[in-house]
Structure 1
């Protein structure tokens, strides 16, 4: 399918800004220029937003808690932002988190996990896991139903969400009831057809992914299942999933491969490819209609999963 007209216009705008390629920047430079919030659109109102710190494996972790209107106990979603484990923060996904909270009628806990290269693998994964287990333990105080807590994220955050589910299974700990994986990173090989087809020209490039991986794990740990969840020894015993991919995205094939691996292991999974669009499109629902559609679809999948678990 041809590139979506809105995505093409956006890419042309970004190209005309003349910013240096991400992989030529230092992490500090990349963080200063990484801001998609003007493209996210108007934020939806929620009943309450609170920022607190929670205990983590190496110190406090900042989280932002979105509570929807209505009466609890609510289901909940622990959400990890994207940004290649190097860039991004709570503000990056503020609009998507608000939308998911309102449309799925759930509490959303957005996690400000430690970033690389200052904190390399498995720091981000352990922070995400700690945040999920903290919410399970503190569900009642937050008017959350501890039996209906999902995990989700986009890109590198989708990677962390998948890894939290693996960790919970492997450690015989409380597990998510559902996982939302938006164009997730699942393998460090960088050798799929979608990496070759979409290596450059569609916002996320292969060179950028090499840069991200090198800052997060280097070469030694890329095959570890908590870095590359596609490489887990098996995928049995994991929660149902909703997986989103984008046609013009280097990560397309590994996201779809992970969905197949879950299905082969007997896990209920829905995988939806959004044709014509690019990586990161869920950050930009204000200018990309397919970004808003994907978030609406994700909220519907979450709501259905929560309703199923409440029967």
Structure 2
């Protein structure tokens, strides 16, 4: 399918503005560009309460923001981990998608911050994410949540961290997760799939940029073989929770996601894979600029509704 017209218009506009590829920027520039995604988002949905607090991470307290809809009964919880190549991203730039998810899925969204690379390389981020999940489950009742109905969710590098968190929860036996939602996850530090060549340039996030993000994140090249850095390296995927995997046609990481979904399904994990033709990486954060980003949001809402039923 041809590139979605709204996506093409956005890419053309950014090219006219002279936007550089991420690997050509400084860390500060990358972080500024990622924060600017707020300008591409729809207006914020209304939720009953937004609570800023902290969870105790291995390297010290980290921020977590709770989006809590009105409810007279305990609500399911989605632990959301933002993307940004492990280098960038924040609670502020993901305010809109988190509010929309809480309002439309009728769930508590616990959006967490974590230590960023290159100042804090692997394994800092996944250690924080797993600590946050445990804190959320332990304190669920304090903010009206149901600690027996919990999912992890993330996009891009956050999808990596969500997948790793699900692996760690399975490996340790707790917390028990109902589901994982992986939105165009970056999950293979040595990936050599065709989409790396097919979509290497011209679709917002290049192959060179993905490689650069991995370089910022990993402490050593050998870390790319560690399943808690590259979940695609996990040989045993059995026992993972029900999974929604959202991928886009024109993205570098498409095929590693397809392969991960196939391997999970082969090992008995209930997997729903959605491949969106004409779309590119990062559209989940572009609700104001890319109307079809609503398709991804709708798929997440529908999937979580089924997983949390009962």
**TM-score interval for Structure 1 and Structure 2 normalised by the shorter chain:** over 0.9
**Structure 2: gaps spanning 5 or more residues:** none
Residue 69 (structure 1) shift: 2.2
Preserved contact between residue 21 and residue 206 of structure 2 (Cα < 8 Å): no
Aligned pairs, how many?
308
Q: Counterpart in 2 of 1:239? A: 241
Preserved contact between residue 27 and residue 86 of structure 1 (Cα < 8 Å): yes
Residue 235 (structure 1) shift: 0.3
Three-state SS of the structure 1 residue aligned to 2:93 is helix
More divergent stretch after superposition (28-37 vs 53-62): 28-37
Q: Counterpart in 2 of 1:100? A: 101
Q: Counterpart in 1 of 2:88? A: 87
Residue 190 (structure 1) shift: 3.2
Q: Counterpart in 1 of 2:273? A: 271
Preserved contact between residue 274 and residue 290 of structure 1 (Cα < 8 Å): no
2: CA distance between counterparts of 1:164 and 1:149? Answer: 12
**Structure 1: gaps spanning 5 or more residues:** none
**2:34 matches 1:6:** no
**2:164 matches 1:166:** no
Q: Counterpart in 1 of 2:56? A: 55
1: CA distance between counterparts of 2:30 and 2:60? Answer: 25
Q: Counterpart in 1 of 2:216? A: 215
Q: Counterpart in 2 of 1:260? A: 262
**2:282 matches 1:280:** yes
Preserved contact between residue 180 and residue 242 of structure 1 (Cα < 8 Å): yes
Residue 158 (structure 1) shift: 0.5
Q: Counterpart in 1 of 2:192? A: 191
Three-state SS of the structure 1 residue aligned to 2:83 is coil
User: Scaled by the length of structure 2, what TM-score is found?
Assistant: 0.97
Residue 233 (structure 1) shift: 2.3
Preserved contact between residue 286 and residue 292 of structure 1 (Cα < 8 Å): no
2: CA distance between counterparts of 1:26 and 1:69? Answer: 42
2: CA distance between counterparts of 1:33 and 1:294? Answer: 22
Q: Counterpart in 2 of 1:291? A: 293
Preserved contact between residue 238 and residue 267 of structure 2 (Cα < 8 Å): yes
Residue 171 (structure 1) shift: 1.7
Three-state SS of the structure 2 residue aligned to 1:89 is coil
2: CA distance between counterparts of 1:36 and 1:74? Answer: 29
Task: Quote the RMSD (CA, aligned, Å).
Answer: 1.0
Preserved contact between residue 103 and residue 300 of structure 1 (Cα < 8 Å): no
Preserved contact between residue 152 and residue 158 of structure 1 (Cα < 8 Å): yes
Q: Counterpart in 2 of 1:23? A: 23
Q: Counterpart in 2 of 1:67? A: 68
Preserved contact between residue 154 and residue 183 of structure 2 (Cα < 8 Å): yes
